[in-house]
């Protein structure tokens, strides 16, 4: 399963990159491809180095000391030591919605953030399983992968807007913009980019569930935690403002209001399916919490 998800993610990222080059070529020929490549490198660099700061700021998170939250430190220290990885920085967000996320470009620069709401809703065993899920994101380099995917999708959307101003194919614009090509750039390009980005995000969530359950040795606790978290996010959805919306894909459950058609474009897979997989994992491997 892990190798399958890795290959799937690599293929989807390759497809996104190919879509960028295609859009760039349609807009400006070979010169457009070069421009798209430069923009891609710049945006990926910004996303790589600053995604953690932006995500933490969007949730109003603050660093938490060990005397303030000794149980959190105990969980993270135990699991990171077990994985042979450095201890990440720990943050707490004042948000009452139960949620958590990890961010940072690698294990040496990682941060784990939990909301005050999740600390009130989950018991020790469930919160420990959630921490395992978040650490799995760090160790699987999911934060970097998600940031790159988001940046690539954003580039496609940005390039599509250039169709208003750049002649399609790099030629003259005496005959005006081809309406079919304009439709392709403005609608189909960004839509395809979004669908690919969502497929990457959902694949990584499934993998983090499995890896995190293995790390915590407690898939049933993670399944129970996900049920409670999902109920809480449905009851207390966060506003879909710019900074929060851009960080929603990092959360263990979508913090924004979902349902209806919007659920088709969610960055997270269906919660029922995540729980089902974890319960099946517990049955098939007979993993029990000790």
Q: Distance (Å, rounded) from C-alpha 106 to C-alpha 102? A: 11
Output the pLDDT for position 261. 45
Beta bridge partners of 89: 111
Structure tokens of 136? 């799995």
User: Greater confidence, 180 or 120?
Assistant: 120
The tens digit of pLDDT for each residue in 212-260 reads: 999 999 999 999 999 999 999 999 998 877 667 767 888 999 998 765 5
pLDDT recorded at residue 8: 55
Please check the confidence at residue 269 and state whether its pLDDT lies above 70.
yes
Task: Identify the pLDDT of residue 87.
Answer: 96
Whole-number pLDDT of residue 7: 60
CA–CA separation, 54 and 243 (whole Å): 8
β partners of residue 92: 62, 114
Instruction: Answer yes or no: 279 catalytic.
Output: no
Whole-number Å distance between alpha carbons of 257 and 243 = 15
Q: Give me the percent of the chain exceeding a pLDDT of 70.
A: 61
Across all residues in the chain, what is the average pLDDT? 79
- Any idea how long the chain is? 290
| 3-class state of residue 92 by DSSP | strand
> What is the pLDDT, as a whole number, of residue 287?
47
Q: Of 66, 78, 116, 134, which is the active-site residue?
A: 134
Is pLDDT above 80 for 67? Answer: yes
> 133 vs 24, 45, 123, 137, 223, CA distance in Å?
37, 26, 16, 7, 11
Instruction: Identify which has the larger pLDDT, 115 or 171.
Output: 115
Share of residues in the chain with pLDDT > 90 (%): 43
Residue 1, helix vs strand vs coil: coil
Pick the most confident of 88-97, 182-191, 276-285: 88-97
Strand order in the sheet with 111-115: 62-63, 89-93, 111-115, 100-103
Q: Are 112 and 61 in contact (CB under 8 A)?
A: no
What are the tokens at 55?
């995500």
Compute the distance between CA of residue 132 and CA of residue 82 in angstroms, rounded to an integer.
Answer: 11
Task: Supply the pLDDT for residue 183.
Answer: 64
């Amino acid at each position: 399963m892990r190798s399958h998800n890795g290959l799937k993610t690599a293929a989807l990222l390759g497809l996104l990159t190919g879509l960028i080059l295609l859009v760039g070529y349609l807009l400006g020929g070979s010169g457009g491809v070069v421009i798209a490549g430069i923009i891609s490198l710049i945006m990926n660099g910004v996303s790589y180095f600053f995604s953690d700061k932006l995500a933490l700021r969007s949730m109003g998170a603050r660093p938490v000391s060990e005397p303030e939250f000794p149980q959190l430190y105990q969980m993270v220290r135990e699991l990171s030591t077990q994985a042979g990885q450095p201890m990440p920085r720990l943050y707490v967000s004042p948000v009452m919605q139960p949620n958590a996320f990890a961010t940072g470009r690698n294990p040496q620069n990682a941060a784990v953030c939990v909301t005050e709401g999740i600390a009130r809703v989950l018991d020790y065993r469930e919160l420990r399983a959630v921490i395992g899920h978040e650490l799995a994101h760090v160790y699987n380099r999911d934060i970097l992968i998600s940031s790159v995917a988001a940046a690539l999708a954003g580039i496609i959307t940005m390039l599509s807007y250039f169709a208003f101003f750049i002649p399609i194919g790099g030629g003259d614009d005496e005959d005006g913009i081809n309406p079919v090509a304009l439709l392709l750039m403005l609608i189909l390009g960004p839509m395809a980019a979004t669908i690919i980005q969502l497929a990457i995000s959902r694949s990584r969530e499934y993998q983090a569930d499995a890896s995190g359950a293995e790390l915590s040795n407690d898939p049933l606790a993670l399944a129970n935690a996900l049920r409670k978290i999902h109920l809480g996010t449905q009851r207390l959805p966060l506003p879909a403002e710019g900074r929060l919306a851009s960080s929603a894909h990092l959360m263990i459950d979508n913090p924004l209001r979902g349902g209806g058609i919007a659920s088709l474009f969610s960055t997270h897979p269906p919660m029922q399916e995540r729980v089902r997989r974890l319960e099946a994992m517990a049955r098939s491997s007979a993993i029990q919490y000790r």
